[in-house]
Amino acid sequence: MKKVTIRTLALGMALSLTLLATGCGNTASSSAAAENKASESVQTEAPVTSTAPAASEQEKTVVSTVEETSVVEAQEPEKDGFTMYYPESMVETYGESLHLDEKPEKIVCLSNAALQIMVRCDVRPIAVTSPASSVEYPDWVSELPVIATGMSQLDTESIIAMEPDLVIMGKHLQEDFGPILDDAGIPVYYTSEGPSITYTEVKEEAIALTKSFGDQAAQEQVQQEFDDLEARAASFSDKMETKTAMILFSFPPSYQQTSKGYLGSMLSMLPIENLSDTLIDPEDRTAPLDLEKLVELDPEVILAISPLSADAADLETSYQEEMANNPAIWDNLQAVKNDNIIYLSSEYVTSKGIQIINSMNSLMDLLEEKFG
């Protein structure tokens, strides 16, 4: 409204100046002549009529254009849009953010990392991936349609039929299914998933997602939770003596994980020396495991995880059978002799987003119970 008022005043002034300029004639008259003319007008008491000629066609065009512009600018509201921010670790690939013209109302969320933040911020998607069993979700999540996903599996037809404003999914699905959603005109935001994402990357992503979906209070809450976790890890490290360790991945144990893996990055914040970092480039994150090399390095602690064992007790049972069948390897390990094998559930295999806070607190509880 303010913009229209200023332009209208400017228009009035322009018209007044035009009228004055026209009334003055082409040649300047003396002030006395002007006064005489004014006196004659008063004496005859003739009605005052405007003698100014009509505005030229050019002037009409200018006036009309100004009026139309003012109306358009006054009636057209500015759109704030909606921004999905990327964590620093993904900026090089995807840019700083995904910007939408309007806030999405129909979101298909195929990422547990994103779903946890959406739940915290009271944002309800129209469909989800299978909710992680290690994460406690409100009841309404279980009532949502589930889109089957996997390393190379995605029901794009069902997604497109829902006509979503936004799809959120792991970047491992981009190569096979991203182009299909792009062709359908559906914006896609990608998240980091899998056993190779580190603690720092999980933290950055959780903060970025909260910035996208939450208010300032929600952002501060998430930041505080990570700060509290890191403070506990620092205090824990001051109390516990450093232990050598190796992470055995899968079952039968055929892979090892460095400090750049998901669980490995958690251990790197604690007084744990990951011996796999001395065998392979940590940037490789995982590598095949040589059991004879395991015996040679003889770590004080072994942490066992497997994507095929959701429950730690089930994994322990499998390992007991493996040890009985291969005593030449296992009976020579100090971690076995001292009962320092820690069996972990599949919660520690792949990232579940901000759930890493609970996972790491539970890990510190286990280590504290074993080593004081």
Of the residues 9, 44, 78, the one at which a domain ends: 78
Q: What is the pLDDT of residue 210?
A: 97
Domain CATH for 177: 3.40.50.1980
Buried b / exposed e over 248-270, threshold 16 CB at 10 Å, is bbbbebebbbbbbbbbbbbbbbb
Q: Cβ distance 120 to 137 under 8 Å?
A: no
**Among the three residues 193, 227, 242, which one is the final residue of a domain in this structure?**
193
How does residue 157 score in pLDDT terms, banded at 50, 70 and 90? very high
Burial class of residue 101 (count of CB atoms within 10 Å of its CB; 0-12, 13-18, 19+):
exposed
Q: For residues 271 and 143, what is the distance between their CA atoms, to the nearest angstrom? A: 43
> What is the pLDDT, as a whole number, of residue 252?
87
Q: Are residues 96 and 137 in the same domain?
A: yes
pTM of the complete model: 0.76
- Taking residues 215-244, report their average pLDDT: 97
DSSP 82-119: EEEEPPHHHHHHH-SEEEESS--SSEEEE-HHHHHHHH
CA distance 52 to 66: 22
Residues 100 and 131 in one domain: yes
Judgement on whether residues 150 and 270 belong to the same structural domain of the protein: no
Checking if the pLDDT of 43 tops 80, the result is no
Does some domain include residue 199? Answer: no
Q: Which DSSP category does 187 fall into?
A: -
- 88 part of a folded domain: yes
Model pLDDT, residue 3: 38
Which residue do the tokens 């505005």 mark?
A: 55
Nearest-angstrom CA–CA distance, 122 and 120: 6
User: Is 134 found in the same domain as 224?
Assistant: no
Position 353 scores a pLDDT of 93
Q: What is the dihedral of CA 312, 309, 205, 207, to 10 degrees?
A: -30
Q: Is residue 136 part of a domain?
A: yes
What CA–CA distance (Å, rounded) separates 336 from 304?
12
How high is the pLDDT of residue 201? 95
Per-residue tokens: 280: 């392979």
Quote the CA–CA distance of 117 and 213 in Å, as a whole number. Answer: 8
Asked whether the predicted pLDDT for residue 18 surpasses 70, the reply is no
Contacts 24+ apart (CB under 8 A), 219-227: 222/117, 222/120, 222/354, 225/354, 225/357, 226/357
Same domain for 93 and 14, yes or no, is: no
pLDDT digits (tens, 9 = 90+) for 275-330: 999 998 877 888 999 999 999 999 999 999 998 888 999 999 999 999 999 999 99
Residue 36 lies in a domain: no
Domain that holds residue 70: 1-18+53-78
Q: Which residues contact 249 (CB under 8 A, 6 or more apart)?
A: 195, 255, 256, 257, 261, 286, 289, 305, 306, 349
My answer on whether 236 and 338 are in the same domain is yes
Residue 232 shares a structural domain with residue 355: yes
230 and 355: one domain?
yes
pLDDT single digits (tens) 245-286: 999 998 888 899 999 999 999 999 999 999 999 998 877 888
Tell me whether residue 38 is in a domain: no
In this structure, the chain runs to a length of 372
Domain identity same for 266 and 348: yes
- pLDDT > 50? residue 233: yes
pLDDT tens figures, 171-199: 999 999 999 999 999 999 999 987 889 99
Q: Is residue 213 part of a domain?
A: no
Query: What pLDDT sits at residue 293?
Result: 93
Secondary structure letter of residue 241 according to DSSP: P
Please give the Cα distance from 118 to 121 (Å, whole number).
5
What Cα–Cα distance (Å) separates residue 9 from each residue in 3, 50, 72? 10, 21, 17
Domain assignment of residue 211, yes or no: no
Whether residue 253 sits in one domain with residue 315? yes
Q: Please tell me whether residues 345 and 232 are part of one structural domain.
A: yes
Residue 32 covered by a domain: no
Distance CA 34, CA 233 (A): 93
Strand partners, 153: 150
155 burial type by CB count under 10 A (0-12 exposed, 13-18 middle, 19+ buried): middle
Domains identified in the chain, total number: 3
Q: Are residues 344 and 236 in the same domain?
A: yes
Please compute the mean of the pLDDT values over residues 121-149 and round it to a whole number.
93
